[in-house]
Amino acid sequence: MPGNGLWRTKSIEQSIADTDEPGTKLRKDLTAWDLTVFGVAVVVGAGIFTLTASTAGNLAGPSVSLAFVLAAIACALAALCYAEFASTVPVAGSAYTFSYATFGEFMAWIIGWDLVLEFAVGAAAVSKGWSLYLETVLGQLGVSVKTTASVGGVDVDWGSLLLVFALTVLLVIGTKLSSRVSAVITAVKVAVVLLVIVLGIGYIKAENYSPYIPPAQTGGTTGTGLEQSLFSLVTGFSGSTYGVLGLLAAASLVFFAFIGFDVVATTAEETRNPRKAVPRGILGSLAIVTVLYVAVSLVITGMLPYDQLKTQPDGTRATLATAFAQNGVDWAATVISVGALAGLTTVVMVMMLGQSRVLFAMSRDGLMPRKLALTGKHGTPYRITVVIGVLVAIAAGFFPAGKLEEMVNVGTLFAFVLVSAGVLVLRKTRPDLPRGFRVPLVPLVPILAIAACLWLMLNLTALTWVRFLIWMALGVVVYFVYSRRNSVLGKEHGATAVPVVKPDEVS
């Protein structure tokens, strides 16, 4: 039953009933295969093409492969919880919708606001990586041009702006078309990844794996004060460059490479048989990419000594192509760059898709302007898609990639913690609900998922936490100024659910 005020909950039955609301109904076109493609499309990209090499050079050395394993374990635990929720509540919105049914409206708003960090900011961060590869590919084709230009004293990344514009148009046209385009491009990038593994094996030197976990260094890239990890700041342990702390910091960073499998959950409402297809899409895509990530990281760190993969003083970061170029395999470097360009395209597209579905659900509930939830002739929330395109373009065009990546990580981990806790709550409050998938070993698995995610969050920089808290505080203000007053659920339950709030009572 709905609670009062901040903690009123939206029943599972009501959430499902809302999916048939005229004017805001999404077209059910997707299959389990489409969802798996979306999952692989969004996950394979950032980690392999832009994070693997630089993380090995700056933080973990050869043990970056173990960092991927640690991050994958945390993701797998959370993925099981997502699979149960998505098969039980096949509604757009993912963690936002799940939280509305378990923790109440205020927490649902908080997680919806938080998901902006995961999807919109994530799309912006990856689009900057795409722009970097565009510059590389153009250079290899003999066209020397910078994808960043100075306009009125402000650096503008026109490459990422071009990508975001094209993908916004594609997403407005239709989700099924987006899936087909994604399938083709995903096939190309997976082929490139397999080429990296097969070709790179021949250039591996065993001595490059020693030491597997390099000795800890102080005063490295992690900095001091707010630039060090929250764990280091609180405990006083220093030296998170290399060593065990460097490995843990690397796991927190490469976690960015796995985000996106939860995008599959946001498309549940557009799936023909969500109770079976969504769990298969989530778990299947995560299993595939984990194998690819570990294999690629072992190959890259075996091809070059880790200290040759460090970020250069001018800010230039090592990529997959770096290892092949330094081994004299220039043609492979070109192929990898083209594959990365294609691969990162799907990452940005599916993240923008996920963000639009979260805001669509929030708009349908009145926590965002209701007019944004309207769907057009293609069965897509076209207004929200355009708004997301503009926001992503601004973030990608004017903000540095490194800071965006860290912000995405803390937002995603926070969402995973709430979803995992939500499974425990819903098992107690609604044991009667039909579940297409059930998390095994409850409560152990959700508790481990929460612990793993909290540990990864502790290894993010304190400055990232400060930015995160500022962002969430802004979200709280927006909720009390606008969302609480316009909540559809609040209006439906009248004064018993929504106390009359005068303007001078809003803080």
For residues 495-500, give the mean pLDDT. Answer: 37
Please give the pLDDT value at position 222: 47
Measure the CA–CA gap between 42 and 354, rounded to whole angstroms: 10
Q: Are 352 and 380 in contact (CB under 8 A)?
A: no
Instruction: Label residue 502 by pLDDT band (50, 70, 90).
Output: very low
| DSSP at 214 | P
Measure the CA–CA gap between 140 and 324, rounded to whole angstroms: 14
Token pair for 406: 């860290």
C-alpha distances out from residue 36 to 33, 93, 102, 138, 269, Å:
5, 18, 27, 31, 15
Amino acid at 396: A
SS3 116: helix
Measure the CA–CA gap between 214 and 209, rounded to whole angstroms: 10
Q: What is the mean pLDDT of the chain?
A: 81
Q: Are 409 and 466 in contact (CB under 8 A)?
A: no
All domains of the chain, ordered by start, with CATH?
30-92+108-403 (1.20.1740.10)
Cα 25 to chain centroid distance, Å, stands at 25
Please give the pLDDT value at position 225: 65
Is residue 507 predicted with pLDDT exceeding 50? no
SS3 241: strand
Measure the CA–CA gap between 74 and 397, rounded to whole angstroms: 32
Measure the CA–CA gap between 391 and 398, rounded to whole angstroms: 11
pLDDT tens-digit readout, 353-373? 888 888 888 998 999 998 888
pTM for the full model? 0.77
Is residue 3 predicted with pLDDT exceeding 50? no
Is residue 417 predicted with pLDDT exceeding 70? yes
